[in-house]
Amino acid sequence: MQNIFLHLHPGKVSEKSLTFHRTFGLGGMAALLIAVQIITGILLRFYYVASPAEAYNSVVFMKTQVVFGQFIRNIHYWSGVFLLFIAFCHFLRVFFTGAYRDLRKLNWLFGLLLLAIIVFSNFTGYLLPWDQLAYWAITVSTNIIGYFPFIGNGLRMTIIGGKELNADTLQTFFTFHSALLPFLLLVLVLYHFWRVRKAGGIMLPSDEEKGEAVPVNPNLVYREFIVALVLLAILFLFAAFFNAPLLGKANPAYSMNPTKAPWYFAGVQELLMHFHPFFAAFIIPLSVLTFLVWIPFITYDEPPSGHWFISEKGKRSAKATAMFGAVVTIAGILFNAWVMNFEIMIPLLPAFISNGIIPLFILLLFMAAFYRFYLKRLKLSKAELVQAVFVFIIIAFIVLTLTGIFFRGKDMAIVFPWNV
C-alpha cells in the first residue's frame, strides 16, 4: 500500500525503453482516454434520462441548454472513438514486437479481454441517444447475434429484453455502459499494467535489454506529459469542430436505408454480404478469436526477438501478405457484388454450401497457393508464419470494415463516395 503506484511507474526504467517507436505511448494514451471517458460520462449522467420517452430529449437539452453540454458530449464521443482506435493499434504493436509470449502470454489474454470491453463500452453507449442512427445500428448488430446456432435467438432476446429494442434494452445498455463496464475496465487496466511490470517492462530486443537504467522522473514522466498534452489537444480540436452524430428521435416504424451497424462492427456486417450467416456471424469470428487466444501458447522455435516484425524475412512476408490480403479481399467483394453470387450461381445446392462452404474453401485455396508459391520459399520460422496469418486476418478485417463504412450505399449496394 505504501507504493500503490509502483506497478504503474517503477523507480527506474531502461533508457532503451524510452525510445518513442518502442510503444508510441499507446498504452498510456489509452489509459488517459479511459479517464477522460469516465469524467465526461459522469458529467453527462447529471442530465441524461435512460428511458425511450426522455433519452433523446435529454440529449437535445444537453446540446442546446447546458453550458458546454455539446462540447462535453463531443469529447465523450470522440474519446470513445479514439480509445477504440488506439487500443487496436496497441494490440497490433504488442503482437508485432512479440510481446505476447513467455511471461507475457497471460497478459495478452487480458489485453484481448480489455479490447473486447472497450468495444462493448462503445457499443452499449451507441444506443443511449435513442435517435434513428443509434436505434437501427443496434438493431442490425443484435440481429447478427440471432445467427448463432441453437442459442442465437434466445441470446438476442435476453440481451435486448424482447423481440425489439425497448425500455428494458435502453436501461440494460445504460447500466452496462455507465457502471459495470467502466468498473471492469479500471480493474483490468490496473492489473494489465501490473502484469507488464512483472514481466520486466516493455519488450526490448535481446541485444538491448541491458541498457542503462534511468529514473522514471523526469525521463519517462516528461515524455508521458508531452504525449498527453498532444492527445488532449487533438481530442479537444475534434470536439470543437465535429459534433457527435444525432439524427431524429428513434422511430421503430421507419427504418434507415442503408441500415448499418456501428463502424467497429461494419466488417462483420460486410461478411454477411458474402457468406452464409452461420459462417459470417459465427464460424469465421469464432475461428479468428480462437487463433488470437491460441497464438501465445504455440511452441515456437526460438525466443521472441523483441524486434518489429521479428526479422527481415518477417518484414518481407508481412508486406507481401498485407498486399495479398488486400487484393484477395477487394477482389472477393467486387466479384460478389458485380459478377455473381455463389448462392445464385449454384441454386440447386443449399445456401449453407453454395454461400458458405464453397466461398470459404476457395479462400483457403488462395491462401494455400500463396503459402506454397511465396511464403514457403522464404523458409519462415513458426513465429514468422503465425505473423503472416495474423497480417492476413487484420488486413482482410480492415478492408471489410472500410468497405462497409464508406462503400455501401442505398440497399447496401456498392457505391463510391465521389459518385454519391
pLDDT > 90: percent of the chain:
73
User: Could you tell me which CATH number the domain at 1-256 has?
Assistant: 1.20.810.10
Cα 224 from Cα 87, distance rounded (Å): 17
CB 137 within 8 A of CB 123: no
Q: What pLDDT score was predicted for residue 201? A: 81
Cα 345 from Cα 283, distance rounded (Å): 23
Q: What pLDDT score was predicted for residue 203? A: 84
More confident residue, 342 or 391: 391
Q: What pLDDT score was predicted for residue 6? A: 60
Q: Is 159 exposed, middle or buried (0-12, 13-18, 19+ CB in 10 A)?
A: middle
Average pLDDT, whole number, for the chain?
91
Read off the pTM.
Answer: 0.94
Confidence of residue 353 (pLDDT cuts 50, 70, 90): confident
Q: Is 346 exposed, middle or buried (0-12, 13-18, 19+ CB in 10 A)?
A: middle
Domain boundaries, the chain: 1-256, 272-420
Query: Which sign, positive or negative, has the C-alpha torsion 356, 361, 362, 368?
Result: positive
Listed range (58-67, 138-147, 330-339) with the worst mean pLDDT: 330-339
Backbone angles phi, psi at 305, to 5 degrees: -85, -25
Q: Is 202 exposed, middle or buried (0-12, 13-18, 19+ CB in 10 A)?
A: buried
Listed range (1-15, 193-207, 352-366) with the worst mean pLDDT: 1-15
Per-residue pLDDT, averaged over 286-310, amounts to: 93
CA distance readout (Å), 126 to 11, 55, 63, 179, 324: 41, 12, 17, 15, 34
Grid coordinates of 155? 441470446
| pLDDT, tens digit (0-9, with 9 covering 90-100), for 202-252 | 888 876 655 688 888 888 889 999 999 999 999 999 999 999 999 999 999
Confidence of residue 20 (pLDDT cuts 50, 70, 90): confident
* Position 46 pLDDT exceeds 60: yes
Contacts of 101 (CB under 8 A, 6+ apart): 296, 300, 303, 304
Grid coordinates of 275? 457468406
CA 170 to chain centre: 23
Listed range (6-20, 300-314, 375-389) with the worst mean pLDDT: 6-20
| pLDDT, tens digit (0-9, with 9 covering 90-100), for 23-40 | 899 999 999 999 999 999
Q: What pLDDT score was predicted for residue 32? A: 96
Q: What pLDDT score was predicted for residue 37? A: 96
Q: What pLDDT score was predicted for residue 346? A: 63
